[in-house]
Structure 1
Amino acid sequence: MSRLLHLDASARRSSISRELSGEYARTWRAAHPGGGYTYRDLAADPVPHIGEAWTELCDHVLEHGITDIARYREAARTPAQKEAWGIVEPLLDELVAADTVLIGTPMYNFSIPSALKAWIDQVTFPRMSLAGRRFVVTGARGGAYGPGTPREPVDHQERYLRDFFRGHFGVEDVTFVHAELTNALVDPALAHLRGAQADSRAAARTRVREVAQR
């Protein structure tokens, strides 16, 4: 049975990244009527930042050469480490069970929200592999960061996530769909770009539906 893990990271309850991830999820669920679905709102229900006990779990995983995700729990020995594992385990179970991981995230300060980074830190252990899974990121950015734009070099949202999912998790199937120029909706100085923003948003909605039906 196919299973979708759906994460949202925007601090806004009504946001374009949530709109796009919701469009993907609805389309995916319609295309997979028997599929499993798990939703987690990383902004409304934040994942704690990692602490020292979590780093000790990682040390034990490395020291003992544990590469099987199902054996990570063996690294928890002290009460503090077991408490840290209690946070990690449900997050990791959701991730490992999914065939497709959907992440709705805005760009904050050229990168990703701290809520998403906290989740990534919690579920990431040395040498772990999620190869064979599919990651889809629906993003919203205040400006234009696409290829050839002046701000392309400071896009540390897509670049970071793509490099991390492929470089650490070994995931080759990574798709990004962005709506850009969202600041044009609120910044009078960018009012002349509202048409381009609407076009970008509409194109992103169309694209996520196409991707979800693959």
Structure 2
Amino acid sequence: MAILRIDSSANTNDSVTRALTDRIIAKLGDTNVTVRDLALEPLPQITQTWAVARVTPEEDRAPEQTEALKESDKLVAEMMAADTIVIGAPMYNFSIPAALKAWIDLVARVGVTFRYTEAGPEGLVKGKRVIIAMASGGTPAGAPVDFNTPYLKTVLGFMGMDDVTIISADALATDPEATMANAHTAVDALQSSDARKAA
């Protein structure tokens, strides 16, 4: 089973979400892992050229439009090739890091990862398992001011990924030991890909 690991924490030394994604990957037991570190390799912001290129038929694109979509095409291919996507998503100011938003902007493409039909929008990225490692200083996952996990579940679901598990370490400023113990328990309860298939 192929895993796409996405890290977005600006903290590359002692990040809680990076530690959790390490633990999640180890628990899943898969060795075919593609790593996309959005802090070490920042993605470009979308531009006017990119926005026009994404709705221009491939055969009609100018060379600069094709070039503008190259990174997006690569990211979409990584996502499509994965069976499981593990996302480290720390909460910055009640929402996701800008680095992670840049990834979402580049992979959420009409006609590629979702489409509009007479019955409404349809996600085209199907059959994926997504595990999100979320960390915050004190905002509980699911709280009214948590704009991190609901947003991720919404936008991933819009693209067709509705098998989403949240592993939260969401009280680090008040009780870090209990918070991490709870998060580790949640990771340890995850089933491997083989176990899920057998079930």
Flag the structure with higher strand content: 2
Deviates more, 1:3-12 or 1:200-209: 200-209
- 2:17 and 2:134 in contact (8 A); partners too: yes
In structure 2, the partner of 1:68 is none
What is the aligned partner in structure 2 of residue 22 from structure 1? 22
Corresponding residue of 2:118: none
Q: Secondary structure at 1:60's aligned position in 2?
A: coil
Q: What residue number does 1:66 align with?
A: none
Following the alignment from structure 1 to structure 2, what is the Cα–Cα distance between the partners of residues 86 and 171? Answer: 23
Question: Residue 153 of structure 1 aligns to a residue in which SS?
Answer: coil
User: How big is the alpha-carbon RMSD for the aligned residues of Structure 1 and Structure 2?
Assistant: 1.7
Deviates more, 1:83-92 or 1:113-122: 83-92
Percent identity between matched residues is: 38
The match for 1:87 is 71
**Which residue matches 1:43?**
39
Change in Cα spacing, 1:48 to 1:178, as seen in structure 2 (3 Å) is same
SS at match of 2:74: helix
Q: Higher helix share goes to which structure?
A: 1
Question: What are the ranges of 5 or more consecutive residues in structure 1 without an aligned counterpart?
Answer: 62-73, 185-192
Q: 1:145 to 1:47 in 2, by over 3 A?
A: same
1:99 aligns with one of 83, 95, 100: 83
With structure 2 as the length reference, what TM-score do the two structures score?
A: 0.85
1:108 pairs with 92, 99, 104, which one?
92
Q: C-alpha deviations, 1:105-159, integer Å up to 9, x for none?
A: 1000100000000011111111251121111100101113245xxxx11110001
Distance 1:134 1:75, change over 3 A: farther
Contact 1:76 1:85 in 2 (8 A): no
Q: How many residues align?
A: 181
Amino acid in structure 1 at the alignment position of 2:7: D
Residue 60 (structure 1) shift? 2.3
Residue aligning to 1:67: none
Tell which deviates more after alignment, 91-100 or 52-61: 52-61
How big is each residue's C-alpha offset from its partner over 1:158-193, in whole Å with a ceiling of 9 and x where there is no partner? Answer: 010011111x212220111110122x2xxxxxxxx3
User: Could you tell me which of 42, 53, 59 is aligned with 1:57?
Assistant: 53
SS of match in other structure, 2:56:
helix
